[in-house]
Structure 1
């Protein structure tokens, strides 16, 4: 199998600590550096759903304080993985992640009508700081859903599947190639500003239907799309980008998708779960 080791993604949380502990709360941890049990790629944060906007809205001094807490390897957590959200929403109301193509261009074969604001809900700013100031070397771009007009339910929320994968036909046509082009273009936008996205995910919790951005997929449907996504990345000269799949809700759910992914194992870089 061509899979790399699993990437561990963790949300950063900060809590106050007490200066003293009662004896019954004390514990001893012994670390033996000579013993190696497994290799961990790193730990990181996700600032999707406009959380990057919240940091960016702080004063310059508090911005630096927050970034140091997250990425500084001396005074902070030293996170080495950043997970960005690829937007699918037609707008940025509430905490929506706005799409780079908010409106249907006229069908899956129409000329794309991408819109890039150079900000991406402040994820551009956080990514640039993380990579260029703090040396973060893993940037994971992950879509919760395709834009609604590419899906069976015509909505980027509330589940629905990508038009064109197995058992998901739409009157509007097959959107697999258009979605692959869309994801590749997102990566190119970041590449143009000097931030190289290292990993690309096209699903998030595909076994769940939620009231926010979500898209259903089983293993076979994911494999259908990967067969289109891989050559699309190659054609765009994005051969170093590793495709991830499928960020299912828990390893047991992910395991249930693995059988159908065997046929595309050589195209996958990392298996992911939550």
Structure 2
């Protein structure tokens, strides 16, 4: 009788979970292989993200699944019970927690993104902010802020264009900060149940600080670290942090320079500033670190590099092997743009040497049409979503603690961008119709950002794959003994897999992973 009663309670509990519904996607197909979900001023799809709760009346552990597929599912929620035996030919066996702790996921509050948000009606814009930051959406917890203009601006500007203003008396935030970026950040903070960590990244110093007297093209800060120009550039960081604080936004971190190798390319066509690892090392030790500490911002997280994988081992070795510079550094920032060409072993080499003392964070990624320049936005491209999901997984499998997308929203062309360097975005805005489109990339981000909460720890596993060559997985342990598994299937067929958690009784999750899909598993573990 007691066993029947337990089964009864279990059945009621599972039915209760299934009855909690998300707001469904309104699908629209353009010319790609999957759909977008359409949102406007009156409607946007939401997600049921059921928080697991212990059920003393239920001796049988259960799990939640959330599925997104090329065929059209978008975070579809279901529940199931653990089994006594495994039925899948392809097995993932949970092992133990690693020392790798997750910082989170997010996107950039660029001029282009926030201008594009403001092209919507107030309620449609509110739905877009909710889609990224509220509990109804995918709950980003990190935001990147360009310090001044970048290519995704409508024009070139800095915060102090007064030649020779070494005291930075004329430093002031731009209209783009005051009317677009800061309001979007504050609206995000208002709807989020998580703390949002915000970090700034400079593309260029004011023109008058650079050797070529131009915010574009090959050039670096005039003089040497420790000199007047470098001291002034360090003070510029302090002014930025203080100005945002004065406007109600606390800055959690800064990267020392966006893609420092760009500024060593002759004729580089948008804002840049050239650094070597040696000059970055000395700037941190002599100028930036002391300036932050002297002005009460010693707690701001300084991240070095902020460029592509191939130079990561060399750059980290030069900067972090220097004790004077390293004492001011908290993390290492890296971009994704040549990940298809440069293997993750380049991350491993840096992480194995410095990962115990510094966090590693992917700080920029986007899809573009680099060849023809006229197909940057591909509405409904499953490949681009899959590319995101797999790259995030690979980074997290190799020591990276989080993954930050580039522009959170762009227009139908993939801008605005003052040099026509257009790109795709997880959300594309159609201002003429006062609506926006959630791309497969958005859901790829969401399977991580919503379920893998800040502070989660990566858990190792064994993999025994017989048929499902296109299936891969990564596992995390959250607070309250909740396990998260993110699984991708890049193949054109479905597979039955088994996840084994030795700490549950029974301990087998048998599940079908659909063709071309992202799947999140969520369950309690006991040890």
Partner of 1:259: 317
Question: Which stretches in structure 2 are left out of the alignment for 5+ residues?
Answer: 1-34, 38-69, 74-88, 336-527
Instruction: Measure, in 2, the Cα distance between the counterparts of 1:88 and 1:67.
Output: 22
Query: Is 1:190 aligned to residue 244 of structure 2?
Result: yes
Aligned counterpart for 1:77 among listed residues 123, 135, 138: 138
Greater relative contact order (Cα 8 A, min sep 6): structure 1 or 2?
Answer: 2
Partner of 1:211: 269
The RMSD of aligned alpha carbons is 2.9
Where has structure 1 moved over 6 Å in runs of 4 or more?
A: 28-34
* Larger Rg over CA atoms: 2
Distance change in 2, residues 1:93/1:245 (3 Å): closer
Deviation at 1:266, TM superposition (A): 1.1
Partner of 1:132: 190
- Secondary structure of the equivalent of 2:101? coil
8 A Cα contact 1:180 1:232, kept in partner: yes
Instruction: Measure, in 1, the Cα distance between the counterparts of 2:181 and 2:153.
Output: 16
8 A Cα contact 1:44 1:82, kept in partner: yes
Higher percent of residues as strand? 2
Partner of 1:53: 115
Deviation at 1:206, TM superposition (A): 0.9
Instruction: Measure, in 2, the Cα distance between the counterparts of 1:94 and 1:194.
Output: 23
Partner of 1:122: 180
Instruction: Measure, in 1, the Cα distance between the counterparts of 2:330 and 2:104.
Output: 16
Instruction: Measure, in 2, the Cα distance between the counterparts of 1:111 and 1:85.
Output: 19
- Secondary structure of the equivalent of 2:242? helix
8 A Cα contact 1:205 1:248, kept in partner: yes
Partner of 2:511: none
Instruction: Measure, in 2, the Cα distance between the counterparts of 1:103 and 1:189.
Output: 18
Instruction: Measure, in 1, the Cα distance between the counterparts of 2:108 and 2:96.
Output: 31
8 A Cα contact 1:247 1:254, kept in partner: no
- Secondary structure of the equivalent of 1:115? coil
Instruction: Measure, in 1, the Cα distance between the counterparts of 2:189 and 2:213.
Output: 36
Instruction: Measure, in 2, the Cα distance between the counterparts of 1:189 and 1:30.
Output: 53
The Cα offsets for residues 67-114 of structure 1, whole Å up to 9 and x where unpaired, read as 111112x3212111000000157xx9963463211222x253x55311
TM-score normalised per structure 1: 0.78
The Cα offsets for residues 151-193 of structure 1, whole Å up to 9 and x where unpaired, read as 1111111231112236xxxxxx741111111111111011112
Aligned counterpart for 1:41 among listed residues 103, 123, 143: 103
Aligned counterpart for 1:220 among listed residues 278, 296, 317: 278
Distance change in 2, residues 1:180/1:94 (3 Å): closer
8 A Cα contact 2:159 2:206, kept in partner: no
Deviation at 1:56, TM superposition (A): 2.1
TM-score normalised per structure 2: 0.42
Deviation at 1:245, TM superposition (A): 0.8
- Secondary structure of the equivalent of 1:269? strand
Instruction: Measure, in 1, the Cα distance between the counterparts of 2:220 and 2:305.
Output: 14
Aligned counterpart for 1:95 among listed residues 147, 154, 163: 154
Instruction: Measure, in 2, the Cα distance between the counterparts of 1:196 and 1:219.
Output: 28
Instruction: Measure, in 1, the Cα distance between the counterparts of 2:248 and 2:90.
Output: 42
Instruction: Measure, in 2, the Cα distance between the counterparts of 1:53 and 1:75.
Output: 23
Partner of 2:256: 202
Query: Is 1:163 aligned to residue 222 of structure 2?
Result: yes
Partner of 2:375: none
Aligned length: 244
Instruction: Measure, in 1, the Cα distance between the counterparts of 2:170 and 2:90.
Output: 56
- Secondary structure of the equivalent of 2:327? helix
Instruction: Measure, in 2, the Cα distance between the counterparts of 1:32 and 1:137.
Output: 33
- Secondary structure of the equivalent of 2:199? strand
Question: Which stretches in structure 1 are left out of the alignment for 5+ residues?
Answer: 1-13, 21-27, 167-172
Query: Is 1:18 aligned to residue 71 of structure 2?
Result: yes
Query: Is 1:273 aligned to residue 337 of structure 2?
Result: no
The Cα offsets for residues 181-228 of structure 1, whole Å up to 9 and x where unpaired, read as 111111101111221100012301111233111111111110121120
8 A Cα contact 1:88 1:147, kept in partner: no
Instruction: Measure, in 2, the Cα distance between the counterparts of 1:15 and 1:58.
Output: 18
Partner of 1:25: none
8 A Cα contact 1:50 1:96, kept in partner: no
Deviation at 1:272, TM superposition (A): 0.8
